[in-house]
Amino acid sequence: MLEAFTAPGTWLKGNLHTHTTNSDGRVTPQERIAGYNSRGYDFIAFTDHYAVTRETDGELIVIPGAEYDFGEQGRFYHLVMLNAPQGFHLFDGMSVQEAIDEIAAMGAMSVLAHPYWCGLSLPDLRDIRGCLGIEVYNHNCHCGIAKGLSTVHWDDLLAAGWRGYGFAVDDCHYLSDAYGGWIMLKSGKRDLESILDAIKGGRFYSTCGPEIRSIERRDNQLSVECSDAVAVNLVCRKQFGWRVAAPEGQVINSAQLTLDRQMGYVRVEVVDARGRAAWSNPLFLT
């Protein structure tokens, strides 16, 4: 959590789940680049189904990736790969864990996609190891069937000892499901290598709109600065946690939150007047 706000560098905006006409998207890679570029994004990942899309652009940094799905004993997993090497192809017949291991062996990264949309529960997820995290918000799943939010899946995993990041993404296939979820990443340089290093190190937060401007820890106190919010939440395991709410019709831009080791882990959630949220990565207290 804290590294994103204490590390030197510049905030960069990016979407890590993007489809094009190279799979089941309705927008060409070139049109995707132009669209995200025009809206102030610094980077995107192309994650076409079973196809690595490689495009270059003078301004927008493009991460090559792909999306794969796995059916195992009635369970249904989708896996997003980031930083696909040249000539990469994931063979059919692998389990999701075998795929994660293979991706890691090649120096790439993997993220479990839209677990709520996939109908996954804690028993389906808790034994998976080696992926970077899960999609805590998926804009396409939200727009399509209102199953874009997977914070409960994330909290169940974190409470069970799983240490993974939360990603907000578009998973866009059309134009109507783009520009709704992204990460804000702290990077020392605006280049592919630095961005990948920051993703791997968790130096980012996820959002649908609100800004988390700073998070500082002093002993058992967490200080949060943010854009206009109606609530700042400290989400933890079991019955622990805090909610700092603005008075009716007003907003807040900061909150002081008290930590306790019994919380196990904590993550910050900022909610604005439109119901949009931003999510920090977790801080582990034990």
- In sign, the C-alpha dihedral spanning 133, 139, 144, 148 is positive
My answer on whether 136 and 256 are in the same domain is no
Q: Say if residue 203 is in the same domain as residue 217.
A: no
Same domain, 236 and 128: no
Given a cut of 80, whether residue 188 has pLDDT beyond it is yes
Residue 91 has pLDDT above 80, yes or no: no
Same domain for 252 and 127: no
89 pLDDT band, cuts 50/70/90, is confident
Asked whether residue 116 falls in the same domain as residue 243, the answer is: no
DSSP string, the chain: -THHHHS-SEEEEEEEEE--TTTT-SS-HHHHHHHHHHTT-SEEEE--BT-------SSSEEEEEEEEEEEETTEEEEEEEESPPTT--PPTT--HHHHHHHHHHTT-EEEE--HHHHT--HHHHTT--S--EEEEEEHHHHHHHS--B-HHHHHHHHHTT---EEEEE--BSSSTTSSS-EEEEEESSSSHHHHHHHHHTT-EEEESS--EEEEEEETTEEEEEEEEESEEEEEESTT-EEEEEPPTT--EEEEEEE--GGG-EEEEEEE-TTS-EEEPPPEE--
pLDDT (0 to 100) of residue 199: 98
Q: 202-257 pLDDT, tens per residue?
A: 999 999 999 999 999 999 999 999 999 999 999 999 999 999 999 999 999 999 99
Residue 185 pLDDT: 98
pTM: predicted TM-score of the whole model, two decimal places = 0.96
d(CA 89, CA 238): 41
Question: Structural domain of residue 114, as residue ranges?
Answer: 3-207
* 51 and 170 assigned to the same domain: yes
Mean pLDDT to the nearest integer, 108-113: 97
Of 207, 241, 268, the residue that ends a domain is 207
Domain final residue pick, 165, 181, 207:
207
With vertex at residue 82, the alpha carbon angle to CA 79 and CA 84, rounded to the nearest 5 degrees, is 110
Task: Tell me: do 182 and 268 sit in the same domain.
Answer: no
Are 166 and 216 in the same domain? no
Average pLDDT of the residues of the chain: 95
* CB of 126 closer than 8 Å to CB of 136: no
Q: Do 183 and 52 fall into the same domain?
A: yes
User: Do 189 and 82 share a structural domain?
Assistant: yes
Residue 136's identity, in one-letter code, is V
Say if residue 233 is in the same domain as residue 124: no
If you average pLDDT over residues 29-46, what whole number do you get?
A: 96
Assess contact for 61 and 199: CB atoms under 8 A: no
For residues 96 and 68, give the distance between their C-alpha atoms in angstroms, rounded to a whole number.
9
pLDDT grade for 93, boundaries at 50, 70 and 90: confident
Residue 56's pLDDT band, with cuts at 50, 70 and 90, is confident
CATH code of the domain in which 257 resides: 2.60.40
Last residue of a domain, one of 158, 175, 207: 207
Per-residue model confidence as pLDDT tens digits over 189-203: 999 999 999 999 999
What is the mean predicted confidence (pLDDT) over 21-45? 96
Contact in structure between 44 and 62 (CB atoms under 8 Å): yes
Q: Total structural domains in the chain?
A: 2
Give the CATH number for residue 15: 3.20.20.140
Q: Are residues 196 and 162 in the same domain?
A: yes
Contacts of 9 (CB under 8 A, 6+ apart): 186, 187, 188, 189, 198, 203
Q: Which of 124, 82, 86, 87 is nearest to 103 (CA)?
A: 82
Stronger pLDDT, 55 or 243, i.e. the higher one? 243
pLDDT tens digits along 144-158: 999 999 999 999 999
